[in-house]
Amino acid sequence: MKLKELLSSLPVKMVKGNTDYEITGLAYDSRQVKEGYLFVCICGYRQDGHKFIPQALASGAGVVVAEREEAADKYPEITRIIVPDSRLALAYLGAAFYQHPSRKLKLIGITGTNGKTTISYFVASILRAAGYKVGVIGTIHYQIGEMDLPAQRTTPESLDLQRMMCRMLETGIEYGVLEVSSHSLELGRVVGSRFSVGVFSNLGRDHLDFHQDTERYFAAKQKLFEMLDKEATAVINLDDPYGAKLISITRSGVLGYGLESEAMVSAEDYDCTINGTKAHLLCPSGRFPIKSGLPGEHNLYNILAAAGVAVSQGISPRFIQEGISNVEKVPGRFEPIECGQDFKVIVDYAHTPDALQSLLVTVRKLSSGRIITLFGCGGERDRGKRPIMGKITAELSDYTVITSDNPRQEDPLEIIREIEAGITDISQNSAHYLICPDRYRAIWEALASAQPGDTVILAGKGHEDYQLLGNQTVPFDDRRIAREMLKLQFGVQKNSSVR
């Protein structure tokens, strides 16, 4: 593609140098640059792309897009494009270079604090039941045709996203299901993409280390609905107070769902047990029964969201029913660990106050025994949620094991002390909780304390198969470790210690 043609996608720029240049590729990582590439200098949180212009030129870049004019002008032999925001420039350029794939693909964007991944699984399953080819990009994996890769982040960088959508079209995929994080919206990763459907699940407390307060967090989420055009549909949870705010923001049609509000998609006669959910869905196409292996009212909301997407696409009830029933589990979301033990073990990604509370309320309704909750909080993230989550476990659990999540470069004991402050606000009885920074040992202690009929919850990491300790990424999977320990415990005396 000619540089002149590519630059027409940038609303604001200053061009220095020749634009009669053939661009063979784009990169924002100098290590990915090849001959004839355009290199975009991203100002990140740890690295400044302007520092890597020499490496990009050495690898064959002939054009540089930069925010800092003085940094680019050190290389007058090349073409320099000066822009006010290089991240936004990358998004516009990526969409143009890959011929705007989202204009040909039906793109479904899902945002909200909790439920994005589960909703994406239900939506993809319903679409496949209806005979469509579907690609999924989200927290757990990037699934494009035969390619199934572990996700590096919930929503890829804009250039990578456009490349993935282009690949979807090449493989005959008709629908792309995309989890849209608040970070991606704030950082412009989905700019240049056209969404056919936008889904809002809920808004709770999360990522306030980045967004600073709830209103700014919501302002990031609402950007998805500001992007929707008149032909699109906003599928909105009307039972969430922030859902109603989105109705006046979007230009698109609105399809509401909920259990308490007057919504186009709702449910009645629902029954949630530890083994799953049954309900009758109420949609414009009629009333019909559904059955899911995923328990809890929060999953019923996820089902309603997915059904709303299906209704917006004219999909019949029988495919909605089939798609919902085909989702047997979502990795790390209320995932049971069964090794023949006489108590239940559930691994869940719940790492926000709302998600943890919803999880514990669900388990309390479905379990007759004690609830033993193991969790920690991530380091270098929102510190304010730590005592809140400690308080939630003290109120809704019978016994809590406080441990490490991904402490990163924070002191794990300091994180734990902030969690403990929330627990001691409720109970001064230290017999109600245990502090165990070593997550491996903590899982053993939680499992060893369980009695017949109890439920052990391993919260916070879900599908993750690693732990971030200092500068190291260490293999660690709650599910694998729990299975190994449960098998071992049947051969040793209860409450013995390991490690």
CA distance 496 to 185: 48
Same domain, 309 and 354: no
* Amino acid 313: pLDDT: 98
- Classify residue 499: in a domain, yes or no: no
- Classify residue 497: in a domain, yes or no: no
Type of residue found at 330: V
Which strands sit side by side in the sheet containing 14-16, from one edge to the other? Answer: 14-16, 79-82, 63-66, 37-40, 25-27
CA distance 327 to 118: 9
Same domain, 316 and 457: no
8 A C-beta contact, residue 396 and residue 371: yes
Q: Can you give the residue range of the structural domain that contains 445?
A: 335-489
- Classify residue 496: in a domain, yes or no: no
Same domain, 177 and 310: yes
Same domain, 348 and 474: yes
Comparing C-alpha atoms, which of 354, 166, 389, 338 is closest to residue 242?
A: 354
CATH number of residue 199's parent domain: 3.40.1190.10
Same domain, 351 and 279: no
Q: What are phi and psi of 335, to 5 degrees?
A: -90, 115
Same domain, 131 and 161: yes
Looking at beta carbons, which pairs linking 276-285 to residues 24 or more positions away fall under 8 Å?
A: 277/303, 279/303, 281/307, 281/317, 281/320, 283/307, 283/311, 283/317, 283/320, 284/311, 285/311, 285/316, 285/317
Number of domains in the chain: 3
- Classify residue 134: in a domain, yes or no: yes
- Classify residue 66: in a domain, yes or no: yes
Same domain, 298 and 204: yes
CATH number of residue 363's parent domain: 3.90.190.20
CA distance 98 to 6: 10
End-to-end CA distance of the chain: 59
Per-residue pLDDT of the chain (499 residues; tens, 9 = 90+): 999 999 999 999 999 999 998 999 999 999 999 999 999 999 877 789 999 999 999 999 999 999 999 999 999 999 999 999 999 999 999 999 999 999 999 999 999 989 999 999 999 999 999 999 999 999 999 999 888 888 887 899 999 999 999 999 999 999 999 999 988 999 999 999 999 999 999 997 565 555 567 888 899 999 999 999 999 999 999 999 999 899 989 999 999 999 998 999 999 999 988 889 999 999 998 999 999 999 989 999 999 999 999 999 999 999 999 999 999 999 999 999 999 899 999 999 999 998 999 999 999 988 889 999 999 999 988 899 999 999 999 999 999 999 999 999 999 999 999 999 999 988 767 779 999 999 999 999 999 999 999 999 999 999 999 999 999 999 999 999 999 999 987 554 444 444 4
CA distance 258 to 166: 34
CA distance 38 to 97: 11
Same domain, 382 and 361: yes
Same domain, 193 and 294: yes
* Amino acid 399: pLDDT: 96
Structural domain ending residue among the three candidates 326, 352, 378: 326
8 A C-beta contact, residue 468 and residue 407: yes
* Amino acid 204: pLDDT: 76
CATH number of residue 29's parent domain: 3.40.1390.10
- Classify residue 180: in a domain, yes or no: yes
- Classify residue 498: in a domain, yes or no: no
Structural domain ending residue among the three candidates 293, 326, 359: 326
Same domain, 28 and 135: no
Same domain, 70 and 137: no
Same domain, 434 and 467: yes
CA distance 316 to 499: 55
Structural domain ending residue among the three candidates 52, 78, 97: 97
